[in-house]
Structure 1
């Protein structure tokens, strides 16, 4: 029996890449857990470690360049997948855990018909014969809203639009009824109306299959639409985590305040200057000893540069790593965005 229905637990995940310039510490102690059917969004700017975290969960970190540190744990149904043998990995990848990449054109095989790419997954993981797999592949294309699925199944990826290719990726991912689905920026480079359609398809299939979803994105609009929980990443660390409601309405880390302030408001006038976050993220070849956001934070104190803050816990599993919550820190008014978003 899985404790508290937890399907996935990430404990102190540390991932490094060994380059000619040195060791890049891409993920530096990430921890979170998910129950069956929950949706978690991991948000943050480019290079913060979101996709590396997703690849580690999917088993796509390859040596000798990529290394998951020995004390890291990725528990699926209580078992550490980092100890899997070759046969267990084959069953897990694509069967138990699937991923939708942001660029469907490069993720799909350009020399193979779309229907056959779905069938391949079904024959490997569901052990279906060719006729049954073909029928199921057409049904999956119909489920994700592709018109004339019998005809489209015989076409190649280059004959599909960007939105349609992303639907094919969703069909491949959901074909084997995975328990965990990772969406790595699945709506990047799609126009707004198509983005909405893709997210609606993912939400619909997630509900039907009770799939646990991890959504990797830098778009806060996507987050609000799909996730019950949010983890805010910066410089390889989760700096704040909680329910979507708490993160959006009562954020407790200056980085999340800055992200929310930088979102354009519909009720603002046309001449309003858009807010931005000055400076650049720290170099992960030589990560800072203190808070990684200290060089860009308006509330930075001396201790922020010297020591990483402890975890401050609030209600409903909401926590943040920031010195402003220390009893001896100067008192500031925490922003409350309720009714403003």
Structure 2
């Protein structure tokens, strides 16, 4: 199908916005920019609900720019492309993750690590180059520079694939860059939530031995029988923790609780790596001896580049890997947020934007 050129006028879009720290969202009309020469316009069909959405709309990170239109796990169809666009055509299945632009000229950008650009523009609640505030995927459409759009393989469902654009790439990237994707290695996944459950799936797809580490004994059956983990350790059980000491090449730490790292670092082999993905509110409790004695590494990782995100979504499609989701209508987002705050989701809410976000 031939690309359509921009109609050269801003278009109105329907969205769900939070207007204050209550975090409750209500329908709102917003303006999206013209489809520029290098842009792709996307009809949003699905958008995942990330825990960072909840933090932002409730202003828990003290950075909310109200009204906040959250959502950075966006999946839909291309409806229009600019005249310079080469990568996409009208009708393509695509997605948008956590960022919609960077400076594209700094060292990080030149090395293909634009997720660490100091001038990154996030998909929502971020100042765009024209001074406007970016609006995310809790909306019926979006316009994005083609360099920040991800192509969905035909076999990847849009609803179950949408969360991979944040949760998936957030766990895939540290596995790749820290050598925790090698068959036969033993990896621990600390926390079995939105990130943790896809970490288990990716690790198994890489051919690794996987142990889930959790505070919740009731997650054992699900972790092992449904997600395919090889072992399960209850972190509050001293005997179980002792039996796993010194056995893991790495740990993907998705927990956001402010707890001592000492017992978890003890699970690592010498030269083992603990990769932090969660964002505890309080400073970490770390013993230098726990790191130095075994030559261990404590590192952080944030999202992933566009190149790695495309690689991740292709790998996931090849291995039939998707997120476990609960589909909700636009009218149920506030209810879903309440459940998310209580940890009552297995494991990602996804908004059925295309069928339920409609004008009254």
State the TM bucket, normalised to the shorter chain.
under 0.3
Compare the two structures and name the one with the higher helix fraction.
Answer: 1
Give the structure-2-normalised TM-score: 0.26
Give the structure-1-normalised TM-score: 0.27
